[in-house]
C-alpha cells in the first residue's frame, strides 16, 4: 500500500509540474501581450503628438512663406528693438509648436472632451496667431494688428488658465507664447 501511494504521487508530480509550466507560459504570453499593447499605444501616442504639433507648425510655415512684407515695414528705418521679419516668422513657428504640444497634453488628459470651451479657445489663439503676420506685414494694417495681438494675448491667457487645471505642464508651455504676444502688442503699438 505504501508503494501505491508513492507511485500515485510520482504520477501527480509531472502533472503539477506541467500545470505550473503551462501557467508560466500563459503568464509569459500575457506579459508579452501587455508589452505589445503598451508599445502599440505608445506608437499611437507619438503619431498623435506628431500630428498635433505638425498641423499648427505647418500652417504657420505656410503663412510665413505666403506673407510678403509691405513696403511700409521694409522701407522704414528700424530702431534696434524692431527685429527683422525672419525673427517674427521663427517666433511664430516656435509658438505654434509650443501650443501644439500644450494642446496635445491637454487632449491626452481628456481636457477637450471634458471642457469643450477649451478647444474653442485653442482654435481662437491659433487663428489669431496665424493672422497677425499677414495683417501687419502683408497689408500694413497696424491697427488691426494691434487688435489681433491683444486678442491673441487674451486667448492665450484664457488657455493658460484653463490648461492649468487639467495639465500644469501644458499651462507652463503657454507662458513663452504669452510673452511673445505681449511683445507683439507693444511692437504694434509703437508702429501706430
Give the tens place of pLDDT for each residue, 138-181: 888 889 999 999 999 999 999 999 999 889 999 999 999 999 99
- Residue 158's pLDDT is what? 95
- Residue 58's pLDDT is what? 95
Number of domains composing the chain: 1
Helix (H/G/I), strand (E/B), else coil: 190:
helix
Sign for the CA dihedral angle at 136, 141, 143, 148 comes to negative
Query: Residue 133 belongs to what domain range?
Result: 40-191
- Residue 110's pLDDT is what? 85
Q: Are 139 and 68 spatial neighbours (Cβ–Cβ below 8 Å)?
A: no
We report the CATH number of the domain holding residue 140 as 1.20.1260
Say if 17 falls within a structural domain: no
Say if 5 falls within a structural domain: no
Say if 25 falls within a structural domain: no
Say if 19 falls within a structural domain: no
Say if 7 falls within a structural domain: no
In terms of DSSP H, where are the helices of the chain?
2-66, 71-74, 85-108, 111-114, 117-133, 142-166, 168-191
Say if 8 falls within a structural domain: no
Say if 48 falls within a structural domain: yes
pLDDT band at 26 (very low <50, low <70, confident <90, very high): low
Say if 138 falls within a structural domain: yes
Amino acid at each position: 500500500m505504501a508503494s501505491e501511494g508513492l507511485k500515485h504521487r510520482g504520477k501527480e508530480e509531472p502533472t503539477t509540474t506541467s500545470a505550473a509550466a503551462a501557467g508560466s507560459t500563459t503568464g509569459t504570453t500575457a506579459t508579452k501581450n501587455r508589452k505589445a499593447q503598451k508599445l502599440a499605444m505608445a506608437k499611437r501616442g507619438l503619431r498623435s503628438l506628431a500630428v498635433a504639433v505638425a498641423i499648427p507648425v505647418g500652417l504657420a510655415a505656410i503663412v510665413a512663406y505666403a506673407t510678403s512684407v509691405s513696403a511700409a515695414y521694409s522701407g522704414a528705418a528700424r530702431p534696434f528693438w524692431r527685429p527683422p521679419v525672419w525673427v517674427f516668422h521663427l517666433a511664430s513657428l516656435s509658438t505654434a509648436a509650443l501650443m501644439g504640444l500644450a494642446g496635445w497634453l491637454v487632449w491626452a488628459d481628456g481636457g477637450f472632451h471634458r471642457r469643450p470651451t477649451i478647444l474653442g479657445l485653442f482654435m481662437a489663439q491659433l487663428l489669431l496667431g496665424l493672422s497677425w503676420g499677414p495683417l501687419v506685414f502683408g497689408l500694413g494694417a497696424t491697427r488691426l494688428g494691434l487688435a489681433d495681438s491683444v486678442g491673441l494675448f487674451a486667448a492665450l491667457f484664457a488657455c493658460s488658465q484653463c490648461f492649468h487645471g487639467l495639465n500644469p505642464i501644458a499651462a507652463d508651455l503657454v507662458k513663452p507664447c504669452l510673452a511673445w504676444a505681449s511683445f507683439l502688442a507693444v511692437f504694434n503699438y509703437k508702429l501706430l
